[in-house]
Structure 1
Amino acid sequence: MPTRTRSLNVVAILAIAFGLLTLVSGGRALFGGADMGAVVPFVLWFNFLAGFAYVAAGLGLWYQTGWATGLAIIIALATAAVFAAFLWRISTEAAFETRTMGAMVLRLAIWMMIAIVAKANGRVRQI
């Protein structure tokens, strides 16, 4: 197995940690009964379900699987698509929480960075 680069180690750990935090916060918002304000349901559900993909991508990057880079790219693209749909929805003056905007910018930036690092470290083994 090729040696992992430091940058690949960092993004793998980041993806796993970000995924676990996403599952906890999303699960609390969806199932914990907490009043989250004017949430946008499709964004909340996407983020929660994406948490599982985040963990899978992080593990795949850590173990240098052949599919991990593709999954990271798909996550980045799907996040961009949901963010675009969110922006379209709020352009119709629908209620939303300001923190959702910041969270989507953060998610998109993180997953674009992870996808770029994963692609640049293309030394993943095929399974």
Structure 2
Amino acid sequence: MEPPIEHSTSSSRWVKGVALFAIAFGLLTLFSGGNVLFGPDDARELAGAYVPFVVWFNFLAGFFYVLAGIGIWLGRAWAFGLSALIAAATAMAALVFGIQVLQGSAFEMRTVGALAVRTGFWAVIAMLLFRRTGRP
């Protein structure tokens, strides 16, 4: 088991805040995606013209959001790599989504925004973790 990364009290506060936000974001992602995938028909209707692979991707990614948040909370070095992987995978999902949209698939504009926010959120976390540790 690797030792936690040492950090000051002030940096510890923002790290704990980011970790809690990542965990909450993951749990909300699991709830919302799970509701569309496994919930009542009303949930699918409210989702509108959703793209199934994006909902599945986001739902599965929610587990990794929670895991990354736990790693960030514990100060584990692997949290950087997982955060970077989440950002890159989300960017790839957005690219595939964009190709489907260009081919005429129905979609919701909020999906565009959600993918951009998710990609940006995890890219910023990875960048901050990299700056904090000075190494991947």
TM-score, normalising length: structure 1: 0.90
Counterpart position of 1:23: 30
Larger RCO: 1 or 2 (CA < 8 Å, sep 6+): 1
Question: C-alpha distance in 2, partners of 1:91/1:7?
Answer: 40
Matched, 1:3 2:13: no
Question: C-alpha distance in 1, partners of 2:96/2:33?
Answer: 19
Question: C-alpha distance in 2, partners of 1:106/1:76?
Answer: 10
Question: C-alpha distance in 1, partners of 2:77/2:99?
Answer: 35
Q: How many residues align?
A: 124
Alignment of 1:1-127 (within 5 A): 1=4, 2-3=6-7, 5=11, 6-33=13-40, 34=43, 35=45, 36-122=47-133
Structure 2 unaligned residues grouped into runs of 5+: none
3-state DSSP class of the match of 2:105? coil
Question: C-alpha distance in 2, partners of 1:113/1:16?
Answer: 16
State the Cα deviation string for residues 92-114 of structure 1 (Å, max 9, x = none): 11111111111111111111111
State the Cα deviation string for residues 4-53 of structure 1 (Å, max 9, x = none): 61332222122111101101111111111222221111110000000000
State the Cα deviation string for residues 60-109 of structure 1 (Å, max 9, x = none): 01101121110000000000000011011101111111111111111111
Alpha carbons 1:7, 1:117 under 8 Å: kept: no
Structure 1 unaligned residues grouped into runs of 5+: none
Question: C-alpha distance in 1, partners of 2:101/2:36?
Answer: 20
Structure (1 or 2) with the greater helix fraction: 2
TM-score, normalising length: structure 2: 0.84
Structure showing greater radius of gyration is: 2
